[in-house]
Amino acid sequence: MFPIGFNHSIDIEEPVVIPPPPSPLDFKNKVIIITGACSGIGAAVVMEFAKWGGLLTVAGRNKESLRAVADKVIDAYDHSPLIVHADMINEEEVRHIVDKTIATYGHIDVLVNSASVIEIGNIETTTMAQYDRVMDVNLRAVFQLTSLAVPYLIETRGCIVNLSSVNGLRSFPGVLVYNLSKAALDQFTRCVALELKEKGVRCNSVNPVVDVTEIQKSDDIDDEAYQKWLEHSGTISEDGREGLEENVAGVIAFLASDMASFITGASLPVDGGRHAMCPR
């Protein structure tokens, strides 16, 4: 019993609703350049950044494939990427990637150097034409595009992610020049990371296991030789599986995000443990 006149009503305060923090993978209003965007890992990277609201420049050599990737972004996320047709061994076309991005968006926040080619051959069989093609695309073009983008990345305190390979960390027979190009790309990554650290620009590389994509297959490689090499690659990985494009794309987005703000100069394997094994 309450005393007469006692007001026993209890005021219950409404619970305080705390809004969730913004996603660390929120790339809204961030401008991302992605090369090698026609297929494979590059195309998966395009879809990954589109999912998180990025403003995209997609660059590649094959016009039809590049248009198809852009159409997928439009259909899924109602956003139209900037398309730049570019052969990465053509200096003027590489320059257009940066020029058109700045003309369209006004700044650059992330550069993903994903364009890559592979040639099968050893020290006895590799031609100088093969050597030049791999080095021009996998290293020289990366050097040029990065140097062109750096002044804008310094302005935004942005970042660079290079698509390397487990072949840059370990030696595998039969793809000599590809191994060289990716090892050099990892060294390039570390050097650029140190040079730009004080200016707030990060640079990392991702090192996936070999991935079965048409962009890796040279026109000079017949199907039998290519399949034989892929089968050999599977026997020396931990579980014999090729890398998943979406998995690699997710790691690239992570390295470009605020979650990785203290990571620079790293070469991150995405290979199911293959880099830690000895061939058998």
> What amino acid positions are annotated as catalytic residues?
178
d(CA 178, CA 167): 8
φ, ψ of residue 262 to 5 degrees: the values are -110, 15
The 8-class DSSP code of residue 265 comes to S
Q: Bridge-partner residues for 113, per DSSP?
A: 162
Axis crossing angle, helix 176-196 with helix 141-156, rounded to the nearest 10: 20
Record the tokens describing residue 271, joined without a space.
């290979």
d(CA 280, CA 277): 9
List of E strands, the chain: 31-34, 55-60, 82-85, 110-113, 159-163, 202-208, 267-270
Dihedral sign of CA atoms 206, 209, 214, 220 in order: positive
Identify the CA nearest to 150 among candidates 160, 140, 139: 160
Q: DSSP 3-state assignment of 77?
A: helix
Record the tokens describing residue 26, joined without a space.
């929120």
